[in-house]
Amino acid sequence: MTTVLGVDSSTQSTKALLVDAADGTVLERRSAPHPSGTEVDPRAWRDAFDASAGGLLPRAGALGVAGQQHGMVARDEAGEPVRDALLWNDTRSAEAAAELIAEHGGPQACAEAVGSVLVASFTVTKLRWLRDHEPEAAARVADVLLPHDYVSLHACVDGTAPFTDRGDASGTGYFSTATGAWRPDLAAAAIGHEIALPHVVAPGAVAGETAGGALVSAGTGDNMGAALGLSLEPGDVVLSVGTSGVASSVSATRVADGTGVVTGFANATGGFLPMVVTMNAAGILDLQSALLGVDHDGLSTLALAAPAGANGVTLLPYYGGERTPNRPHAVGTWTGLSAATTRADLARAAFEALLCSLADAVDELVRHTGQEPRRLLMIGGATASPALRALAPTILARPVTFLPAGEYVALGAARQAAWALSGEPDPPAWPLPDGETVESPPAPGVRERYTELRDRTESWHP
């Protein structure tokens, strides 16, 4: 049996999967935690890799690493970090993002140049912040790596030149999704001087080798790794219901959305991975459980006891502001409450609001890619809820397949490693895990009332 190792170097931890290269069967799992915070010494990721993956690597013929997107690992001439890495969730560079968009000539010009309208998570905004707030550190920067680049390089023999892939590179803000090449001029303009950037390895190619002789693939970003782990094909749409909601699809068409709603990433196989993100997702259900004084099972039971449409109660669930649509100062808004409103109605309205928000995200993907979903796949911890499973197809107006919990990012990294090991033009065909497909007729009037409330409150915030 030939085995490969897939590693997910995420915000919270490193997860390593030893996998059968032939069919993707997971043989062994290990993990190690990362420090918390929005800035982290990247050397901690190397330690976590050694602790989790080190014991498995001698048994693998190839290694792939997928990692959290956007993080800035700025190194000096000796290859040492000049400061702690700023992670994707560090928002101190929000003003820098606005400044750089203006330098591009506006949002649409920015999207045309790099595939997306910049936000604070993108690496280029962190380079500008470094220039303006820590100029001595900025002056020492010789090259900039992404988190997965840094971990992959650590696994390779000494002397290996830094490398990355087009998927993760497309989240930096200085990579052209139109040409598939770096825009070193944009990186230099952000930090104030020229810097070296890692070699972009072709999809499926070998990038390096470990000291033990295992091949190392290019690696990729976590979202691109998940797409590989789920064996997504054009027309597939994945809805991930976590703290935030993410709708993503594999597309052969490049997206350059000047509104900023759709992020025009590349993927790890030569195509594109447009994404729409909502700030509020599973947290909607967490808050509603707390407000009603029930656990999540109790919330689900209440919701299923109310009729579709929650007897006219509608929630706009923008509790922490929202990104899709872009309303950073919005708050949650309830309407339709009356003396007859029940606790079951309030529970039902929370589930319907979450699903309407995700349906909006799917609509944006369809509008910008021009392709109707072939399959809707749903993952994330919240999908264990019976109410979410029952109501999802009624709001999304399509069959929904719920996939079991799994380390899909690490599995995608393993699949990329198996691809590099095979030398074939396409990644190996690994079957999706068995899921449950749920079909139900659309719930009449629910999305219409949600849309009316969403549009009516567009210009209002406290």
Residue 138: strand, helix, or coil: helix
State both tokens at 38.
């929005």
The secondary structure element, H or E, covering residue 14 is strand 13-20
How many angstroms from the chain centroid is the CA of residue 110?
21
One of 149, 165, 222, 236 is an active-site residue; which one?
222
* Residues 6+ away with beta carbon under 8 Å from 412: 6, 64, 66, 220, 224, 225, 226, 227, 228, 229, 230, 268
| C-alpha to C-alpha distance for 27 and 15, rounded to whole angstroms | 13
- The count of residues in the chain is 462
Residue 58 DSSP class: G
Best CA proximity match to 263, nearest among 170, 356, 382? 170
- Quickly count: other Cβ atoms within 10 Å of residue 455's Cβ: 10
Residue 47 falls in the annotated catalytic set = no
Residue 307: strand, helix, or coil: coil
| C-alpha to C-alpha distance for 44 and 34, rounded to whole angstroms | 7
| C-alpha to C-alpha distance for 217 and 206, rounded to whole angstroms | 5
- Supply the residues annotated as catalytic: 222
